[in-house]
């Protein structure tokens, strides 16, 4: 994300450098450049925002090498929480687009006269009040991203708090003469409740399964928690 955002800004810098030379050249011989001719060299608000967001993610990530499984899991938790923050922002933006489009429902419900029906048609012909597949896909992808990062962040926090799991991982790493934080890959799959951790370049990971079953939350529990937070501003006490 950081590399991509920097790349976009670098493209703007390249454009501005080349186009500034061209603009000076034309100015010297009486060429009149068009309004906004150098816009390709301007860094947009969105590009700056993407860079600042990516920069914040990097600054907030803990790159210290973990010496225990608990530290390792907490680092992964923090990284996924950073990604979750960005995913929630994306969902908020995507939701705003969809909400604007579905606001037409009140007009549709009341459109029982010809003038009102003509007004409804006019609204549906505008981009703001009409959904397309790209907008729906963006919204659905944003929901899926929130689910993914929330699940992963929660799993790593639960793992860090699970003494049996952390002790097992620490013991395995010690027996294999690995520093816990030197892992090359770590994944969690909720459907089988399994962490897979790889400590070398072989590509073969070690699985740790069945530790988080008591921490699983279904859709009804998630919805209830959301309603509670919306009303009281915090999670209910456990």
Q: What are the boundaries of each domain within the chain? A: 1-60
What does the pLDDT read at residue 119? 55
Which alpha helices (H) appear in the chain, and where do they start and end?
2-28, 45-60, 69-102, 104-110, 114-124, 133-160, 163-175, 219-232
What does the pLDDT read at residue 105? 47
Low-confidence ranges of the chain (pLDDT < 70): 30, 32-33, 58, 61-63, 101-132, 201-202, 238
What does the pLDDT read at residue 170? 95
Please tell me whether the overall predicted TM-score, pTM, comes out greater than 0.95 for this model: no
pLDDT digits (tens, 9 = 90+) for 132-156: 678 788 888 999 999 999 999 999 9
Token readout for 20 is 């500034």
What does the pLDDT read at residue 102? 57
pLDDT digits (tens, 9 = 90+) for 13-46: 888 777 777 777 777 786 766 788 778 888 899 9
């Amino acid at each position: 994300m950081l590399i991509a955002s920097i790349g976009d800004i670098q493209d703007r810098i390249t454009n501005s450098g080349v186009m500034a030379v061209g603009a000076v050249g034309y100015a010297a011989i009486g060429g009149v450049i068009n309004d906004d001719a150098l816009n390709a060299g301007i860094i947009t608000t969105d590009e700056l925002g993407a860079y600042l967001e990516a920069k914040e993610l990097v600054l907030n990530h803990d790159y210290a090498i973990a010496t225990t499984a608990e530290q390792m899991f907490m680092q992964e938790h923090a990284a996924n929480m950073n990604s979750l923050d960005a995913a929630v922002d994306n969902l908020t933006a995507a939701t705003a687009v969809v909400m604007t489009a579905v606001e037409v429902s009140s007009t549709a419900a009341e459109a029982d006269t010809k003038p009102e029906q003509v007004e409804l048609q006019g609204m549906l012909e505008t981009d703001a009040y009409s959904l397309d597949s790209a907008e729906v896909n963006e919204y659905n992808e944003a929901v899926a991203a929130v689910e993914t990062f929330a699940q992963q962040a929660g799993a790593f926090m639960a793992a860090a708090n699970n003494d049996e799991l952390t002790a097992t991982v620490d013991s395995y790493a010690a027996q294999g003469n690995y520093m816990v934080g030197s892992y090359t890959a770590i994944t969690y799959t909720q459907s089988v409740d399994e962490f897979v951790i790889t400590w070398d370049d072989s590509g073969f990971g070690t699985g740790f399964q069945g530790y988080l079953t008591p921490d699983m939350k279904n859709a009804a529990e998630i919805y209830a928690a959301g309603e509670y937070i919306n009303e009281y501003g915090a999670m209910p006490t456990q």
